[in-house]
Amino acid sequence: MSANLWISSHCNKWLYSAKELENIQKKDQNLSKEEMDHFYFYFNELISVVGKEINTRQKVISTAKIFFRRFYVRNTPTSYDPWIVAPTCLYLSCKTEEMRIKARILRNAVFAFACDWPYTCKDLFNCEKYLIKSLDFSLIVFHPYRPLLHYSKEINFPTEHIEIATAVANDCYHTDLYLQFPPYLIAIACLYITCVKNRIDPLKWIADLSVSIDEVAFITSKILKFYKKSEEFSKTNQIIDKILEKLSK
């Protein structure tokens, strides 16, 4: 619990190994792993679309996505309706990142995408309480944006490349990487991908950092896997009905 990553709750409480994550997801015997991926993808998109509607910063949206993931580590999707949890995550992250918005405005923004959204502001407040509690009041979330800028200064990256790297980092929120690795490692992996894409040799630079290359390679492979799957994710809207039906059983 601190501004320092290494003694923060982000590092000590909320990073899991791959095995632990598998065990957590096994609790929901209803859904396969791929279905869970679609589930997270769909509601992450909801968060970012609603976030853009109410004109928040990217950092707020990213925090909300992490809150959403963490909430469903502690709770099963069958017990809490993601349709209320996702907007609540956004509402809470607006508060923690000092971009306060009114609940009424958020509700209207959600209505723009789902006019039959059955919840009121009161439900939002109730859910917020529950959300804060299951987050264990650890409200400080670290993001890869700052280390990304820091490292890109070291290798004198042009701004176009930095934009690509941040876009990759944003896409990482669709995966469960942020529950496994500290954000600075993800930043390095994103820079690694952009380096390779633009034919800059990254190995010299990474060798100078005291970072295990295996971990970086693992993260990059995961990111690339996600991009290969992107065609699958275009079918999310077709599958999400079945997934939500399964959840409600």
| DSSP string over 77-94 | TTTS-HHHHHHHHHHHHH
CA distances from 206 to 164, 168, 193, 197, 243 (A): 19, 18, 12, 16, 41
Scan residues 6-35 and list those touching another protein (CB under 8 A). 7-9
Interface with another protein (CB under 8 A), residue from 19, 26, 29, 118: 118
Nearer to another protein, 4 or 159 (CB): 4
Nearer to another protein, 104 or 225 (CB): 104
Q: Using the rule CB under 8 A, is 234 a contact of another protein?
A: yes
User: What is the nearest approach in angstroms of another protein to the Cβ of residue 244?
Assistant: 5
Q: What distance in Å separates the CA atoms of residue 114 and residue 212, rounded to the nearest whole number? A: 45
Q: What distance in Å separates the CA atoms of residue 18 and residue 176, rounded to the nearest whole number? A: 9
Interface size with another protein, residues (CB under 8 A): 59
Amino acid occupying residue 179: L
Residues 107 and 121: beta-carbon distance below 8 Å: yes
Interface with another protein (CB under 8 A), residue from 25, 38, 46, 194: 46
Length of the chain (residues)? 249
**DSSP character for 81?**
-
For residue 150, give the nearest of 165, 140, 129 by alpha carbon: 165
User: What is the nearest approach in angstroms of another protein to the Cβ of residue 205?
Assistant: 30
Q: Using the rule CB under 8 A, is 58 a contact of another protein?
A: no
Q: Please give the residue ranges that form the binding site for another protein (CB under 8 A).
A: 1-4, 7-9, 42, 45-46, 49, 78-81, 83, 91-92, 95-96, 98, 100, 102-103, 112-116, 118-119, 123-130, 132-133, 136-140, 230, 233-234, 236-238, 240-241, 244-245, 247-249
